[in-house]
Chain A
Amino acid sequence: MADPVLAVHNISKSFGALKASDNVTLDLMPGEVHALIGPNGAGKSTLIKQIAGGLTPDEGRVELLGRDVTGLSTAARAQAGLSRTFQISALAMGYTPLENVMLGAVGQSGGVFRFFRPVMKDKMLLERAWQALKRVGLEENAHAMTSELSHGQRRQLEVAVALTLKPKAFIMDEPMAGMGAEGSKRLTDFLHTLKEEAPILLVEHDMDAVFALADRISVLVYGKIIATGSVDDIRNHPEVRTAYLGEEDAA
C-alpha cells in the first residue's frame, strides 16, 4: 500500500471542558477524495484549522508526505504543499481575479521579497496564474473586480488560487456552499479530475456531491470519528444513520 500524502495522528484539542477534537486519526491517500462529514458543531472547522494551520492541537501530530508539520505556521504549511480553500471566500476583494491568482503564484514561488521588477510582467508567474484561471473557467473575468464577481465565481476563484500553489494535497472547506445545482455539478466534475493531481480532503454538506465524489468518507460527531469507509459502508452504517443522516435519508 502506498504511503498517505497527509496523515493525522491522534489529534486532540479541548476548549475548556469541550472536546472539539477527540483522538482523531485520518489519512489521505494519493489520488483519492476523502470526505469529512458531520453535523453542525461536530468540530470539522476546528479539525481543518489544526491540519491546515492556525490552531495547534493539544496532542497528536499532522504529517505531510511523512514530514511532521504540526509545529509549522499556516504559511509554512502552504509552502510545504498544503492548499486550503475557505468555506467563506477569502479573497483580496480589491484585486482582480488575475491579481488574486498571481498572489497565489507569488506566495508559492517564495519570491515575495523582490522589490523592483513588476510582478504583472513576470512571464512564469503569469503563465501559472492564467492556467489556473482557465482551468476553473474564469479567464474571461480575469480583469473584472473580484468584489463584483458572483458568489459562484468567487467559489471558482477560490479553487483557482488553490491551484496556483501546485499543492501536494488540497483541503477544501465546503467548496460547493451556496453554489446552486448547476455550478455544484460542474465543480464536482472538476474535482473528480483534480484528485489525480493531488488528493482532496473535502468537507462538504452537499450529500449528493459527497456521495458522487468521495472515495472514502469519515464521519465526525462531537469531535470523534465514528466511522470511516467507502460510500456504501457509510450509507449503511447504523450509527451514522442515527447520528447524522437521519432516518428519512435512510429510507
Chain B
Amino acid sequence: MIRERYINAVILALMVIIPIAALWMDEPFTITLATKAVILALAAVGLNLALGQGGLVSFGHAAYFGVGGYAMGILASHAQNYTPLMEVPFLIEGTNQMPVIWLVAVVASALLALVIGALSLRTSGVYFIMVTLAFGQMLYYFAISWPAYGGEDGLSIYVRNEFPGLNTLVPIQFFGLCFAVLCVVLFMVHRLNQSPFGLALMGAHQNEERARTVGINVTRLRLVAFVISGAITGLAGALFADLNRFVSPVMFDWHTSGQIMIFIILGGVARLCGPLAGASLYIILEHYLGGLSEYWQIYLGLILLFVVLFAKGGIVGGLARKEVRHG
C-alpha cells in the first residue's frame, strides 16, 4: 500500500500544478476554480479536526464560514464607503487589509465556536448534530433579516482586499496566497495531530471512558478542538468572500454545512489531506458534470453513496488503507 504521506504530496502537487498549467495556457477561470477548491478545502480542514479527529459531527460549520465571510464583508464595506464601523466609545474604521480581516474572522469565529461548543457539547450523538444545525440556521435567518449589511441580497465588495506586496486581483497571486494559507494551516494541524492534545483528542474519540479514567477532562478537550476547528473554517470563510467579492446569507445555510461535510467524506475522514482531495473532486464534478446536466448532483449523490458503502476511508483512505494513528 502507498504511504499516506506520498498521497498527500501528490494531492498538494496537483493542487499547485493545475493552476500553474492554467496560467501557462491562459485559462484564468481554471485558476479561479482551483482557488475555490483550496478555500473550500481549508474550510473542510477545519471541520475535519472536530469531525474526524474529535468525532464531533458538527452540522453547523456554516456558522463559522459565514461569520468569517461577514467579517470580511462588514469591514470591507465600511472601508469602501469610507464610513466608520463605530464611533462611540472609540472609533473603529473598516479595512481592506487581508491580514486584519483574517485576524478578525479567526477571533470572531473562535468566540462563536466557544459559545456554540460550550452549549452543544453537553449533548452527544444525534442531539449534537441537531443542536449545531440549529445554531447554524439561527445565524442564517439572522443574516437574512438584518438589513444593515444587505439582508437577503448580500453584500458586494467591488475591489478585492489587499495583501501587502501582492496584487490580489491577479488570479494566480490570489491563488498563491490562499494556497500558502492552506499549507500553513495543514502544517499546524499535522503538528497538532502528533501532539499530546491530538493523542488525547483521538483517544477520547475511540474511547471516552478511557480518556476520563486517565484523568483527561474530555469536555474541555473537545471544546478546545471545536474552537480551533471553527476558527479555521472562519478563516476560510473570509477568503471565500474575498474570492467572490460577495457575501450573502447562503454562506450560513445548512447546505454549506453539508457541503463541507461531503468534502471530508469524499476525501477521507480524519485524514490530513482528505479535505483537499474531497473539495477538489467536488469542484471538478461540479464543473464538468454541471456542464453536462443541470441535475449533476444526482451523480454526486451516487458517488457519495458508493464512498460511504464501499470505500469508507474516502479517496485518501482507499489509497492508503492504513488506519489513522500516530506514527
Contacts and interface: CB of A to CB of B under 8 A. Distances in A.
Interface of A: 52-54, 73-76, 78-79, 83-84, 86, 90-96, 99-100, 102-104, 106-120, 122, 125, 145, 161, 164-165
A103 B197 contact: no
A64 B258 CA distance: 48
A78 B200 contact: no
Interface of B: 191-192, 194-200, 202-203, 206-207, 209-218, 221, 224, 323-327
Contacts of A94: 202, 206, 323-325
A103 B323 contact: no
A103 B196 CA distance: 8
A73 B206 contact: no
A157 to B, nearest CB: 11
Contact of A118 (B191, B209, B213, B324): B191
Given A94-B325, A115-B191, A122 B196 contact: yes
14 contacts: A74-B213, A75-B217, A76-B217, A84-B213, A90-B207, A95-B325, A99-B199, A103-B200, A112-B196, A112-B217, A112-B221, A114-B197, A116-B191, A161-B210
Closest A-B pairs by Cβ, 5 of them: A107-B214, A78-B215, A92-B206, A118-B194, A107-B215
A95 B224 contact: no
Q: Is the interface of B mostly helix, strand, loop or mixed?
A: helix
B216 A75 contact: yes
A116 B213 contact: no
Given A115-B192, A119-B194, A119-B326, A106 B212 contact: no
Given A53-B212, A94-B325, A95-B325, A112 B200 contact: yes
A132 to B, nearest CB: 12
A108 B212 CA distance: 11
Nearest to A110: B215
Contacts of A100: 203, 210
Contact of B199 (A54, A73, A119): A119
B141 to A, nearest CB: 35
Contacts of B198: 119
Contact of B194 (A90, A107, A120): A120
B192 A103 contact: no
B226 to A, nearest CB: 14
A95 B197 contact: no
A95 B214 contact: no
A93 B195 CA distance: 19
Contacts of B215: 75-76, 78-79, 107-108, 110, 165
A103 B194 CA distance: 12
Contacts of A120: 194, 326-327
B310 to A, nearest CB: 21
Contacts of B327: 120
Given A107-B214, A113-B224, 7 more contacts: A75-B213, A78-B215, A83-B213, A99-B326, A103-B216, A109-B196, A117-B195
A114 B195 contact: yes
Contacts of A53: 212-213
Contact of B192 (A90, A92, A116): A116
A115 B197 contact: yes
Nearest to B195: A115
Contact of A90 (B191, B202, B210): B210
A94 B199 CA distance: 11
B211 to A, nearest CB: 7
A116 B193 CA distance: 9
Contacts of A106: 196, 199-200, 214, 216
Given A96-B325, A99-B325, A75 B210 contact: no
